[in-house]
Amino acid sequence: MHIPRRSLAALALGVALTASSACTIQVGEVDEAGPAASATPAVNRSEGGTGTSTPPAGRDEDGAAQGVQIDETEYQQDITGAPQVIDDYWRTHWSEFFTGTYTSPRVYGGYDGNDLSSAPTCAGQPATPNNAFYCVPEDYIAWDENLMRAGYTQGDAWVYLVIAHEWGHAIQNRLRMEHVALASELQADCLAGAALYGAAADGTLRFEEGDVKELSNGLVVIGDDSEWTDPQDHGDPIERITAFGKGRDGGVRACIPDAPSS
């Protein structure tokens, strides 16, 4: 993915509410041809940013792909630009779907999953390695840098997908409860699809060759082993791809139960 170079405004602090949402993610290997059975979906959900995971096969204990280098300049541009592009989309289009005033969640950003002494806490619970999460009571988004770098070796779309998904949880936190789906993780995927493709339509994000495949591969990697049956489930790879595609094709309204009004 490519962000047209422009001046990007600083993010504003949003409103803090209650509860929490966290995703512990392991980055598995994905077939270059696209989502396949050889991919290793592994996601555990836990409240308040808690949970544990181990580095995926083929990666070192820092979570980085062994022998794979990333372009540091491009990575820094994407990890900084992705939250701002997504925030710009919601700030620009909020009033088209909802009443009230949009407020940006705070972006804590990256922390070192191998040294959690300086990592953020959420409702008093410590952050965990290989994790990306939205903290509801403190209204911020954070991620383990090792997770982001490991996923980035598979393509830059990974950064946008993970951040757009967690931003989807921030959007849910700004809606009336009747507009938050029981399958909240799949709804966050839907909102991620709406935001990323909406930003592309706005011209603030440009898809490059291979990005669609990278997004699909990423949804496979973070899919559960089984279908959605419980509010804490994320859904299996097919369900996640379907939910993302619903937002991509139908926009925000396709993601929200009933007529939206916040």
pLDDT in tens, 145-172: 999 999 999 999 999 999 999 999 999 9
90 occurs within a structural domain: yes
7 occurs within a structural domain: no
Amino acid code (one letter) for 195: A
139 occurs within a structural domain: no
The band of 120, judged by pLDDT with boundaries at 50, 70 and 90, is very high
CA 138/CA 71 separation, integer angstroms: 32
Report the mean per-residue pLDDT for the chain. Answer: 76
Contact criterion met (CB below 8 Å) for 48 and 76: no
| Strand 106-111 to 140-144 pairing | parallel
26 occurs within a structural domain: no
**Domain around 97:** 80-106+151-254
33 occurs within a structural domain: no
The band of 79, judged by pLDDT with boundaries at 50, 70 and 90, is very high
Per-residue model confidence as pLDDT tens digits over 175-222: 999 999 988 999 999 999 999 999 999 999 999 989 999 998 889 887
Cα 77 versus chain centre, distance: 17
Domains of the chain: total: 1
pLDDT at 103 over 60: yes
CA dist 156 → 120, 170, 190, 206 (Å)? 25, 22, 20, 12
159 occurs within a structural domain: yes
210 occurs within a structural domain: yes
